[in-house]
Amino acid sequence: MPNNAIDHGRIASLIWGVADDVLRDLYVRGKYRDVILPFTVLRRLDSVLGPTRDAVMAMKKMLDDAGIADQDAPLRDAAKQDFYNTSGFSLQELRHTSNSTRLRQNFEAYLDGFSPNVQDIIDNFEFRNQLPRLTKADALGALIEKFLAPGLDLSPRGLDNHGMGTVFEELVRRFNEENNEEAGEHWTPRDAVRLMTRLMFEPIADEIPSGTYRLYDGAMGTGGMLTVAEETLKHLTEASGKRVSTHLYGQEINAETYAIAKADLILKGDGKAADNIVGGPEYSTLSNDAFAGQEFDFMLSNPPYGKSWKTDQDRLGGAKKIIDPRFIVAHNGDSEYSLVTRSSDGQLMFLANLISKMKQETELGTRIASVHNGSSLFTGDAGQGESNIRRWIIENDWLEAIVALPLKMFYNTGIATYVWVLSNRKEQRRKGKVQLIDATGWSTPLRKNLGEKGVEVSTKDADKVLEAFMAFDQYEDTERSKVFDDADFGYQKITVERPLRIAGVDPNRVYTAKEIKQLKEEGLRDETAPAVIKKALPYAAVADVLHGRYEAVIDGRTRVVEYEPDTELRDTEQVPLTEPAGDCADGVEAFFRREVLPYASDAWIDESKTKIGYEISFTRHFYKPAPMRTLAEIQADIRALEAETDDLIAEIAGGEA
């Protein structure tokens, strides 16, 4: 049978039909996948193992007789696959078991006979939990019979590994669309993934030499990003005559989606890749990194956004005690620079995890594509984790571009989403620069919404994004693509203090901390009163009113003093890193003299509280003000309203008459 899209769709429809025929009265439609997906995996593995079943059983007996405990490798060799079954049963033999209790016992023995990697899939699907219901309804035998039907050929004779993978992914897609309220949590739409992989690979396609490459996704869901990335890389390199091999690595906390990802790889004949992915409830990427210390060539991810990571934070020791080197790094002279975000949203922590795995010693380094929502661009104050991550990325010059995706791209949310493209090997023209691309208008409407998803990024739409990306600062449509210096996104958050003024204080004496506390509690604030002096500096000190050091006469001598700040008058200002200095020492002073002192002449800057922050405002940079209506349009509306009002009055008056 030819492996084409029509056949794959037909087979997927046949399997979908099995679900409707056998499970309709047992499960709600959204739960069909709990049975159908693992059963599809079992049917394929069963047919693949058929030719070597006797050899596996012989090897098993020999190993048992020899008392060898570690049997996995020789049994894989005997099966000539990366999996095996030592139960002695096949589905073909199980179909002839008429007694439902005996069938369940034999079927459980059949499941128990699979190799550890397949056991991992079965356990994470929680498939054994379905057997009591299937047995009670006498549906287990019917399922086996349906899956062994001649028209549903899942054997290698009828379907090669790629075709089987395509059928399985089609089933996953259908089930996800059936459950669109939760699909987006674990399954990124293929059009978004293809765009991400193109942004990751195409800019350096000509530079990728033949060789072996490692791909990683730290929030892999069902593994679609990894498999699409693998296909994209091979397609690009084969076109130029290069030979590349790939190794896929991923981690996923959700048991079912991890099982789907692992099953998909095994069904495609990529058992070794299946051994390189890790998952289940105990494998949260943030608190239990399964690939600590490893580095990868290409990484991509769609981490959960707006989701609390408090449990992970506690496992790591609590917000203030985290020492994980992925999240506590050295930066700008600070050996304990914290990337720890607020516990309410951990999406940027996943991005920090990816960055920690960038290759440092290779010519190509590492490229990353990660999709986030809008809060990743601006949430977090200067000095907080989110802002620190943005600062860390931008000041290390890793951020190539951010692409704003169309709205209604994902299944469970219509909010704005953005693809971050990072590289630690920027080409020369991009160094010190960040490109922002507004692709919100490049989409194609779907004929029918899939949950919240109402549009897709077609190939032509993606071509436009890539054209803008590749053109960089030469792209003509500056309403769609803009290029900025790294520093354009940074600012200094300065703390502006004003002195505490209490009626009746002595302007020529220093008050103790105890006295100041009493003044705050009992004194009367008065803007015309003298400032409260809290400290006299050494005689060699130099006055600097900009930073809160003033001259005063203390005990008959002129001293440089500091005033007690009034916390009720404390304020903060954001000063862009690019603020022009003009005739001042720096931009902060210029800003302060222009924006603060004219309105608060006694104010000063507390330098000890100054922090650097970074935020990226797509709205500001791509804001398109709505054109003002002309006077003629407004007058026309007024006349129309007047005419409508006159008609209503006439109608009322006529009715009363």
With a CB cutoff of 8 Å and minimum separation 6, the contacts of 619 are none
For residue 453, the model assigns a pLDDT of 80
- Residue 406 and residue 455 in contact, taking contact as beta carbons nearer than 8 Å: yes
Among 23-32, 86-95, 648-657, name the one with the lowest average pLDDT. 648-657
| Phi–psi pair at 5, nearest 5 degrees | -60, -35
User: Cα dist. 208→355, 471, 591 in Å?
Assistant: 20, 20, 47
For residue 341, the model assigns a pLDDT of 95
The CA distance from 256 to 124, in Å, is: 6
Reported confidence tier of residue 184, pLDDT bands at 50, 70, 90: very low
The structure tokens listed for 521 are 């509690």
- Residue 154 and residue 164 in contact, taking contact as beta carbons nearer than 8 Å: yes
Reported confidence tier of residue 103, pLDDT bands at 50, 70, 90: very high
507 secondary structure, DSSP code: T
- What confidence tens digit (pLDDT) does each residue in 32-46 have? 889 999 999 999 999
For residue 412, the model assigns a pLDDT of 67
Strands 481-485, 433-438: pairing is antiparallel
For residue 8, the model assigns a pLDDT of 79
For residue 100, the model assigns a pLDDT of 85
For residue 209, the model assigns a pLDDT of 93
Among 275-279, 407-411, 432-436, 450-454, name the one with the lowest average pLDDT. 450-454
Region 401-416 average pLDDT: 86
Region 621-628 average pLDDT: 81
Reported confidence tier of residue 126, pLDDT bands at 50, 70, 90: very high
CATH fold of 179-491, please?
A: Rossmann fold (3.40.50)
- What confidence tens digit (pLDDT) does each residue in 304-339 have? 988 899 999 999 999 889 999 999 999 999 999 999
In this predicted structure, the answer to whether residue 392 has a pLDDT above a threshold of 90 is yes
Residue keyed to tokens 């190794």: 247
For residue 2, the model assigns a pLDDT of 40
The structure tokens listed for 236 are 């690009």
Among 211-215, 252-256, 337-341, 620-624, name the one with the lowest average pLDDT. 620-624
Domain-by-domain residue ranges, the chain? 5-173, 179-491, 492-614, 628-657
In this predicted structure, the answer to whether residue 183 has a pLDDT above a threshold of 50 is no
In this predicted structure, the answer to whether residue 3 has a pLDDT above a threshold of 60 is no
pLDDT-above-70 percentage for the chain: 96
- Residue 394 and residue 173 in contact, taking contact as beta carbons nearer than 8 Å: no
For residue 470, the model assigns a pLDDT of 97
- What confidence tens digit (pLDDT) does each residue in 438-485 have? 999 999 998 887 767 889 999 999 999 999 999 999 999 999 999 999
5 compared with 215, residue with greater pLDDT: 215
Q: Can you give the three-state secondary structure of 237-277, one letter per residue?
A: HHHCCCCEEEEEEEEECCHHHHHHHHHHHHHCCCHHHHHCE
Among 91-95, 509-513, 627-631, name the one with the lowest average pLDDT. 627-631
SS3 category, 531: strand
Reported confidence tier of residue 1, pLDDT bands at 50, 70, 90: very low
For residue 79, the model assigns a pLDDT of 92
For residue 529, the model assigns a pLDDT of 95
In this predicted structure, the answer to whether residue 426 has a pLDDT above a threshold of 90 is yes
Q: What share of the chain is helix, strand, coil (3-state, %, to 5)?
A: 45, 20, 35
SS3 category, 423: strand
500: enclosing H helix or E strand:
none
For residue 271, the model assigns a pLDDT of 80
For residue 590, the model assigns a pLDDT of 96
- Residue 128 and residue 29 in contact, taking contact as beta carbons nearer than 8 Å: no
pLDDT-above-90 percentage for the chain: 72
Mean pLDDT over each residue of the chain, to the nearest integer:
91
**Alpha carbon 345 to chain centroid, angstroms:** 11
Specify the length of the chain in residues: 657
N-terminal to C-terminal alpha carbon distance within the chain:
85
In this predicted structure, the answer to whether residue 5 has a pLDDT above a threshold of 70 is no
In this predicted structure, the answer to whether residue 234 has a pLDDT above a threshold of 60 is yes
- Global pTM value: 0.86
With a CB cutoff of 8 Å and minimum separation 6, the contacts of 503 are 523, 524, 525, 526, 529
- What confidence tens digit (pLDDT) does each residue in 474-531 have? 999 999 999 999 999 999 999 999 999 999 999 999 999 999 999 999 999 999 999 9
Strands 490-497, 604-605: pairing is antiparallel
